[in-house]
Amino acid sequence: MKGTGLSIMAKIAILGFGNIGSGVLEVLRQNGAALTQRAGQPLNVKYIMDVRDFSQSPDAKLFVNNVDVILEDAEVSTVVETIGGTDPAYYYVKSALCAGKNVCTSNKELVARHGAELIALAKQHKVAFLFEASVGGGMPLIAPIRGSLAANVIESVHGIVNGTTNFMLTRMEEEGMDFAAALAEAQRLGYAETRDPSADVDGFDAGRKIAILASLLYGTEVHPEDIPTTGIREVAPADFYFAQRMKATIRLIAYAKKDEAGRFACAVEPMFIPREHPFAGVCDVFNAVMLRGNMLGDTMFYGKGAGKLPTASAVVADIIDAEKYGVSLHDTLTWNSAKSLGKITDESRYTYYIRVTDPDAEMLKKVLGGTQFMMQHGDEAAVLSCPLTETELAGKTQQLAAQGMKAMLCLKMLEQ
């Protein structure tokens, strides 16, 4: 306080002391002086809540195992949630907001499922609910959307937003691994869950992230379960063989867009990426997101989408914003609660990469109504189709099957 010789200090509580929670504490301590200058006050961790025993930790005095201690302490101004999942995180976050405390979280599942409700609750109680780390890990996305890009109507967002699948696809491309070998390598290095990697490899993690971005960009709630989601299990070494010779690659892409007529589309699926596209060079665990603004055009964000300190750094940036600006941050965050849209469809026309077995070149061309490119390898062929809608493609693949040619993989081409 001015003139008293006493310093104002923000008191922080961390819920969950795993990889990200411990990273938040590390960032706050290691960069303490710089953070104090940016926040205008010291950021001090008063509590860490975790049900495990940390009695031997050098910070044992900070640990509590009951959230009520934090909720009832008027000194705590910001709560950091890094538990993950929705139970009990949802209850804790709601309770903290209702207690008049800012909340910063890295929990994509929580935000994707309850973001609209929690933002409304934050506004009601005049606090901030921030979640930069829930989408791009350490890569900033949400802050630019509500800040420097606010003058734009964002027409589309496309992104590589899951580092695990990007690592696996890179290994498949560069080393000729099949899906199983690439997954085993990702698990060995700690990028993929050992017990159940489905959230990554089946696209659900990317689906939650694009649900968050779409909800923010278009102002209405997009439910993850409504987003058509396809993972990378069906991508094979043969697809990279063909892609390399077609001067392209394959990446798992999450996208959302609105056309001039206001039609909305959103999906997660592996896509065929021409070599000249910026996403073609995004490898290993890195993420990239491209936003197309109606004034700015295309702008791309690139960086580490996961990892202890990159993600923790995004959480700490949210803490600074929450402490400095509070509820006013929600003046540029519009996310209205809405009923399910039902299964979202995309009826835009795309060029498709199609790999088929037992090819008959002339019949392929006839069924597809012509092709832009075709090549054969062994008992398989790959073609680039003329532009088709998803509905048209489904009809074409049925016709191919009737002619004895099974479509093993069909990928949309991501245009520039």
* Residues taking part in catalysis: 209
Work out whether the CA dihedral 317, 318, 320, 324 comes out positive or negative: positive
Alpha helices in 47-151 (DSSP H): 67-71, 89-98, 108-124, 133-136, 142-146
Residue 335 contacts residue 215 (beta carbons within 8 Å): yes
| Phi, psi (deg, nearest 5) at residue 165 | -70, -35
Could you tell me how many residues make up the chain? 416
DSSP string, 120-136: HHHHHTT--EE-THHHH
Residue 216 contacts residue 142 (beta carbons within 8 Å): yes
Cβ within 8 Å of residue 258, ≥6 positions away? 155, 156, 218, 264, 265
Cα–Cα distance measured from residue 244 to residue 263, given in angstroms and rounded to the nearest whole number = 34
Q: Residue 387 carries which DSSP code?
A: P
Which one-letter amino acid corresponds to residue 52? R
Alpha helices in 176-289 (DSSP H): 179-188, 198-201, 204-218, 237-245
